[in-house]
Amino acid sequence: MTNTSNTSDFAKGRLLVVAFEGWNDAGEAASGVARSLVESLGLEPVAELDGERYIDYQFNRPQIGLDDDGGRTLVWPRIELLAAPDSSEVIAASSDVGSDTEVFVLLGAEPSRSWRGFAAEIVDLVDVHAITSVVFLGAMLADVPHTRPISVFVSSDNADVRGQLGLERSTYEGPVGILSVLGDAVETAGVPSLSVWASVPHYVHNAPSPKATLALVEKLDELSAVSVPRGDLVEEAAAWEAGIDALAADDDDMAGYIEQLEQARDTVDSPEASGEAIAQEFEQYLRRRDGKGDDPRYPPAP
């Protein structure tokens, strides 16, 4: 789990990676990265947030299934903080920075209510576990073509982090989600953070996007001392793109629309090279989700 790229002071110490299912998780890209971390690092729950207090079960419903013995069991949506079984165990090390990075993951259903109380509880957990930095992962539906590199927008409200990593500060003003609320809370508590968002083509919103997951994995690798195993992600991303190509080949309207998106994307040279363009895309997404909730192209996240 060692990353040999250059990292900053932000990557040292105890790093919390945050991802929620739902509104912030188009294509299940953000939660996919978090689950990969949990699985590859063998992380286990060290705290569970009170679902009765924070989750609306009409929106995130419990599911019933069969256990290993064939019995029916009810599984409730959860929000958990996960860490190594031995909190003193070194999870990832970066020889470049000369210090260890221990990884925590906050993962689960997006809280539906009591956001201020939820944020306060997360700040308490950050304090209890001596977490020194936080990365928020998100994925948004956007007017982007699946045939181009997934654009990733990284920002931070912390001036030191922006200086170390050469990041921008978002100038967006308007409605926000739980990640922004938590970001404000941890920054107020003196814990530096950054946000990483991937763009997912809105016309394939119903399916997981391994290409977006891979883009977030690579960006997390670049920005921190944590290298998430790719596993089959590269192959799955290629298969995902090929599958959409096949669908478009049988649908002239879809093919024409994708071509328009490609032309629009190409006018900014490269989605990865235009931070301003990606930032504008991110801000348009937030405004669209607030003002166009009935737009069939942008249905509410599951």
pLDDT band at 4 (very low <50, low <70, confident <90, very high): very low
Extents of the domains making up the chain = 9-291
Q: Per the confidence metrics, is the pTM higher than 0.95? A: no
Bigger pLDDT: 167 vs 214 = 214
**CATH topology for 9-291?**
Rossmann fold (3.40.50)
Report the first-to-last Cα separation within the chain, whole angstroms: 32
Surface-to-core class of residue 75, CB atoms within 10 Å of its CB (0-12 exposed, 13-18 middle, 19+ buried): exposed
Asked if 79 contacts 99 with a C-beta cutoff of 8 angstroms, the reply is no
pLDDT digit string (tens) for 95-134?
Answer: 333 346 899 999 999 999 999 999 999 999 999 999 999 9
Residue 2 pLDDT > 50: no
pLDDT of 88 reads 44
Average pLDDT, the chain: 84
pLDDT digit string (tens) for 275-291?
Answer: 555 556 556 655 555 55
pLDDT digit string (tens) for 140-182?
Answer: 999 999 999 999 999 999 999 999 998 878 888 888 899 999 9
**Helix 252-266 with 233-249: angle, nearest 10 deg:** 120
* Cα gap 171→181, rounded to integer Å: 16
Of the candidates 187, 144, 179, which has an alpha carbon nearest to the alpha carbon of residue 162? 187
